[in-house]
């Protein structure tokens, strides 16, 4: 018996509905850790996987955010791992219903992952993705938000398999900057075999002339230098990048929001450096840094993901972003990568580099109120108690009392349920 892994629903039902496929619900690190070799094998066989669904990336997140994630996995009739859906879990207090509820989102958003979604063996996708949806429907949650799923087809298959009588599914837009920037489009540059081909084929004549002029004036002359970040210089370069990022966004977004953003990006940079995935070129004028770009390099998929930039806003007469992005693109080509990904958002400057849009999916599924019974995952008890503490600290004594009464009733129900094992 394994208390860390449990069947997600009745196994016989799943075998009848999903061609011998069966699911398991992983709720903690002791349940997830033994999957390493299987996860890595599945990741290699899935052409849509990417670095943000890799074992290294997710295991790093999971060990740093205990209790805040779940993983639904799918096995075939022979017991082989054929699909997985990593999820973020949070405990929400619903004022309207007067109860604590489990809400789910993509697990990668714990760490600012650019892309999220499913791992799946391509040959079983048609049956595997609906099986995941059916199994997740049987779990205790009220809301699922899955943003930045890159295949789109998997999201559509998953959503279509949810029972429309029990769930409302929406496909919302997601924009920023007053609706001007579409966050569900990701501009990407297809990289040729050499840098000269990129300059001559991907850029417009005006941009190409400007690029050559800027490189001659500032880099080939030696007036400015581009320095790659190393293990020894990481802390200094990361701090300078984030200092410049904060200087800009504390004015644009306010200091409180900028401080939170800086902390998230600091964690992202540290994770990328720790995992050996970081590429961070910096531009210098003598002892002064003019700017830096941070990328996560997915060598297996051949993609450089641009994540964050910071530049000295007082610098004049030099296009810091142009010089650094052109350098990063050249570095990507020289290191055998085939795509340069500008990330979410249709900011106009990205298209001057020859980028074309890659759409990603975003859907929200909400359980209809008539079908909400026990809305809290039993494994979420520690997080639920922390949420009660928060209600008390906020002076919401009536809400805290109602939450404790809910937990007491649920504890009685959970105690009366039979123990489950990892195999049905």
* Residue 424 in domain: no
Cβ partners under 8 Å of residue 363, min gap 6: 145, 146, 155, 159, 169, 170, 171
Regarding whether 151 and 16 lie in a shared domain, the answer is yes
H and E: helices and strands count for the chain? 13, 19
* Residue 72 in domain: yes
- Determine which of 107-116, 283-292, 410-419 has the lowest per-residue pLDDT on average: 410-419
Q: Is 177 helix (H, G, I), strand (E, B) or coil?
A: coil
What pLDDT does residue 375 have? Answer: 85
Return d(Cα 371, Cα 164) in angstroms, integer. 12
* Residue 190 in domain: yes
Q: Do strands 303-311 and 339-341 pair parallel, antiparallel, or not at all (unpaired)?
A: parallel
> Is a pLDDT exceeding 70 seen at residue 24?
yes
Return d(Cα 366, Cα 169) in angstroms, integer. 7
Residue 27 maps to which CATH number?
3.40.630.30
Mean pLDDT, all residues of the chain: 92
Regarding whether 127 and 49 lie in a shared domain, the answer is yes
Return d(Cα 365, Cα 145) in angstroms, integer. 7
Return d(Cα 45, Cα 51) in angstroms, integer. 13
Quote the pTM value: 0.91
Phi, psi angle pair for 71, to nearest 5°: -135, 125
| Residue 141 near residue 101, CB atoms below 8 Å | yes
Which range of residues forms the domain containing residue 211? Answer: 185-359
Regarding whether 198 and 129 lie in a shared domain, the answer is no
Q: What is the mean pLDDT of residues 10-22?
A: 54
Within 13 Å and on the Cβ side, how many CA atoms surround 270? 13
> Is a pLDDT exceeding 80 seen at residue 139?
yes
Q: What is the pLDDT of residues 203-232, one digit of tens each?
A: 999 999 999 999 999 999 999 999 999 999
Q: Which CA distances in Å does 90 have to 141, 180, 311? A: 10, 30, 35
In the listed set 321, 342, 359, which residue is the last one of a domain according to the structure? 359
* Residue whose pair of structure tokens reads 């059916």 in the numeric block: 134
| Residue 238 near residue 266, CB atoms below 8 Å | yes
| Residue 116 near residue 148, CB atoms below 8 Å | yes
| Residue 376 near residue 102, CB atoms below 8 Å | yes
* Residue 208 in domain: yes
Strand locations in 175-245 (E) = 175-176, 181-182, 185-190, 225-228
Q: What is the mean pLDDT of residues 237-254?
A: 96
* Residue 423 in domain: no
Q: Into how many domains does the chain fold? A: 2
* Residue 351 in domain: yes
Q: Hey, what are 124's tokens?
A: 């079983």
Regarding whether 149 and 9 lie in a shared domain, the answer is yes
| Residue 58 near residue 43, CB atoms below 8 Å | no
pLDDT band at 256 (very low <50, low <70, confident <90, very high): very high
Return d(Cα 65, Cα 107) in angstroms, integer. 10
Return d(Cα 424, Cα 417) in angstroms, integer. 15
Regarding whether 224 and 354 lie in a shared domain, the answer is yes
Q: Is 283 helix (H, G, I), strand (E, B) or coil?
A: strand
| Residue 352 near residue 114, CB atoms below 8 Å | no
Return d(Cα 199, Cα 186) in angstroms, integer. 21
Q: What is the mean pLDDT of residues 46-65?
A: 97
> Is a pLDDT exceeding 70 seen at residue 420?
no
pLDDT band at 416 (very low <50, low <70, confident <90, very high): low
What pLDDT does residue 424 have? Answer: 28
Regarding whether 355 and 365 lie in a shared domain, the answer is no
Regarding whether 341 and 209 lie in a shared domain, the answer is yes
In the listed set 320, 343, 359, which residue is the last one of a domain according to the structure? 359
* Residue 32 in domain: yes
pLDDT band at 379 (very low <50, low <70, confident <90, very high): confident
Return d(Cα 249, Cα 104) in angstroms, integer. 29
Regarding whether 296 and 207 lie in a shared domain, the answer is yes
What pLDDT does residue 150 have? Answer: 97
What pLDDT does residue 413 have? Answer: 73
């Amino acid at each position: 018996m394994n208390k860390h892994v449990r069947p997600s629903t009745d196994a016989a039902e799943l075998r009848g509905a999903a061609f011998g496929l069966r699911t398991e619900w992983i709720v903690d690190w002791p349940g997830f850790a033994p999957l390493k070799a299987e996860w890595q094998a599945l990741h290699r066989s899935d052409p849509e996987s990417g670095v943000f669904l890799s074992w290294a990336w997710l295991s790093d997140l999971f060990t740093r955010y205990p209790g805040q994630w779940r993983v639904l996995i799918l096995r075939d009739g022979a017991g082989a791992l054929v699909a997985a859906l990593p999820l973020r879990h949070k405990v929400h207090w619903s004022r309207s219903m007067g109860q604590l509820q489990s809400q789910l989102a993509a697990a990668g958003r714990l760490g600012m992952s650019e892309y999220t979604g499913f791992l799946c063996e391509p040959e079983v996708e048609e049956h595997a993705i609906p099986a995941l949806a059916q199994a997740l429907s049987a779990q205790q949650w009220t809301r699922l938000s899955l943003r930045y799923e890159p295949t789109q087809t998997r999201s559509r298959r998953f959503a279509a398999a949810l029972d429309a009588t029990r769930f409302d599914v929406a496909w919302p837009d997601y924009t920023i900057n007053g609706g001007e920037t579409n966050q569900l489009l990701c501009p990407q540059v297809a990289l040729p075999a050499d840098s000269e081909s990129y300059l001559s084929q991907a850029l417009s004549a005006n941009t190409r002339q400007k690029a050559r002029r800027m490189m001659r004036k500032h880099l080939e002359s030696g007036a400015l230098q581009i320095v790659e970040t190393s293990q020894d210089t990481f802390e200094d370069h990361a701090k300078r990048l984030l200092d410049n990022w904060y200087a800009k966004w504390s004015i644009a977004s306010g200091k409180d929001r900028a401080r939170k953003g800086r902390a998230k990006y600091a964690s992202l940079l540290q994770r990328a450096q720790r995992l050996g995935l970081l590429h961070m070129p910096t531009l210098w004028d003598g002892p002064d840094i003019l700017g830096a770009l941070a990328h996560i390099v997915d060598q297996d998929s051949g993609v450089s993901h641009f994540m964050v930039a910071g530049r000295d806003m007082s610098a004049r007469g030099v296009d810091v972003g142009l010089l650094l992005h052109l350098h990063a693109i050249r570095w990507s080509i020289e290191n055998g990568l085939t795509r340069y990904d500008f990330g979410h958002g249709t900011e106009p400057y990205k298209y001057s580099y020859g980028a074309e849009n890659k759409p990603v999916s975003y859907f929200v599924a909400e359980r209809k109120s008539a079908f909400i019974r026990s809305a809290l995952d039993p494994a979420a008890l520690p997080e639920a108690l922390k949420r009660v503490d928060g209600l008390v600290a906020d002076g919401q004594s009536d809400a805290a009392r109602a939450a404790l009464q809910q937990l007491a009733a649920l504890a009685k129900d959970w105690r009366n349920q039979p123990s489950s094992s990892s195999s049905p």
